[in-house]
Amino acid sequence: MSEESIKKFMFVNRKAPYGTIYALEALEVVLITAAFDQEVSLAFLDDGIYQLKKGQQTKGIETKNFSPTYRALEGYDIEKLYVEKESLEARGLSEEDLLVDVTVLSRAEMGNLMEEQDVLLSF
Amino acid sequence: MKFGIVVNEGPYQHQASDSAYLFCKAAIEKGHEVWRVFFYHDGVNNATKLTEPPQDDRNIVNRWSRLAEEHGVDLVVCVAAALRRGIRDENLASGFRISGLGQLVEAGIQADRLVTFGD
Amino acid sequence: MLHIINKSPLSGNSLGSCLNVATGGEILLIEDAVYAATSGNAFEKKIREAMGRFKIYALLPDIEARGLADRVIEGVSAVGYDGFVDLVVANRNCQSWL
């Protein structure tokens, strides 16, 4: 694939897992995108941060626990995971509560990062 | 300009499919190309030919089919999302095809702009 | 950059989040988000404040459908679907705050 056709894809996650299917199906797109040699990043804002909460146990709701997949992203060369600081704090969470390593950004830094993208997908 | 469109919600339940259709229509009228519409999540329900709205309501599914027929718009339904929700080749409306998520990524790469309609 | 919002500001936080995070650009209100373009509601003050940083548009067919054509805040530009297309073309990228 030529240089020109590499685009910056950002997946913007603003929804909590399980209550709706969006988080799971968004993750499925992320995995596919990895195969296209694009520049991929994931942004977590608002309730989307809950997708990354450690210790998810879904047996009782008879739903697949897809949270381990976030840890597998590294293996697909998807290492840019950004979390918005105010959203994290508003939920009483810190980086230690998350199941993967993330980069914590201020609102303005997140806004600037969005500006730089070619394709923004949110579900 | 070449557009890619993503529709994440089913017809009649949410306005997303109507908004997406009216956007596509306006884009085509202005001389742009709608290269592909990708249906994901409950959006796959836009593709069933079993849909039968009341006489006085718009036919959302047929409207999409006509857009494909008249303007060559590629209507792609995500296979994983479709199978989850009972959309298969047997009940697929004309102009739609079932394919993989790679088609969505490709739309992001090929189109000048990708616009998402959802909830 | 074009930010597309489709939720009422009084029932969800899409518009609020967008205003917090986005550093500028253009905002298009569609579907239930057009309520944010009208006067007299609890969000009006925030929209007026945001006008300094963002150019704000609202989709006229959605405003009319909701019976609010006479309540559009001055300074918000009402556009049709053709205007929606023009906004997407004019901006390098766009984000739907779903």
Question: Residue-wise pLDDT tens for chain B (119 aa)?
Answer: 999 999 999 999 999 999 999 999 999 999 999 999 999 999 999 999 999 999 999 999 999 999 999 999 999 999 999 999 999 999 999 999 999 999 999 999 999 999 999 99
Task: Sort out which chain B residues have CB atoms less than 8 A from C89's CB and list them.
Answer: 1, 32, 113
Alpha-helix residue ranges (DSSP H) falling in chain C: 14-21, 44-50, 60-65, 81-90
Domain ranges of chain A: 3-122
The whole domain housing C67 covers 2-97
Determine the distance in angstroms separating the CA of B79 from the nearest CA of chain C, rounded to an integer. 23
Residue B39 is part of which domain span? 2-117
Mutate to test the interface with C, among A10, A12, A105 (most CBs of C within 10 A): A12
Asked whether the beta carbons of residue C25 and residue A110 sit closer than 8 angstroms, the reply is: no
d(C-alpha B90, C-alpha B83), whole Å = 12
The residue from B75, B77, B78, B93 that is catalytic is B78
Q: How many domains does chain B have?
A: 1
3-state secondary structure of B75: strand
Question: Which residues in chain C are closer than 8 Å to A48, comparing Cβ atoms?
Answer: none
Q: Give me the CATH number covering residue C84.
A: 3.40.1260.10
Q: Is B24 marked active-site?
A: no
C8-49, pLDDT tens digit by residue?
999 999 999 999 999 999 999 999 999 999 999 999 999 999
Q: Which string of b and e fits A23-32 if b means at least 16 CB within 10 Å?
A: bbbbbbbbeb
Annotation: CATH topology of A3-122: Hypothetical Protein Ychn; Chain: A, (3.40.1260)
CATH label of the domain that carries residue B42 = 3.40.1260.10
In degrees and rounded to multiples of 5, residue C13 shows phi and psi of -115, 15
User: Which of A75, A121, A120, A78 lies closest to A103, judged by CA?
Assistant: A78
Q: Is B83 on the interface with A (CB under 8 A)?
A: no
Domains in chain C, number: 1
Looking at the DSSP bridge assignments, the partners of residue A120 are: A10
pLDDT in tens, A65-104: 999 999 999 999 999 999 999 999 999 999 999 999 999 9
